[in-house]
Amino acid sequence: MGHSARPKNVSYLMTALGDALTEQSADVDVEAGLAATSDAL
């Protein structure tokens, strides 16, 4: 899938998404999402 699908880049994307959702006061568990991403990679 190329360079953009590397684990480090996926983690960066998930972190940025979590930051954006937190900034918008979304009711999401960012830490759980990052942990799940780490487990999947």
| pLDDT tens string 1-41 | 677 789 999 999 999 999 999 999 999 998 999 899 889 98
pLDDT, residue 41, reads: 84
Would you state the torsion angle of the CA atoms of residues 22, 28, 32, 34, taken in this order, to the nearest 10 degrees? -40
The pTM assigned to this predicted structure is 0.77
Q: Which segments of the chain are extended strands (E)?
A: none
Task: Note down the domain range covering 19.
Answer: 3-40
Alpha-carbon gap, residue 21 to 16, rounded angstroms: 9
- What's the DSSP call for residue 24? T
Domain count, the chain: 1
pLDDT, residue 17, reads: 94
Nearest CA to 17 out of 2, 3, 33 is that of: 33
> Tokens 């480090």 label which residue?
8
pLDDT, residue 2, reads: 79
pLDDT, residue 26, reads: 95
pLDDT, residue 39, reads: 92
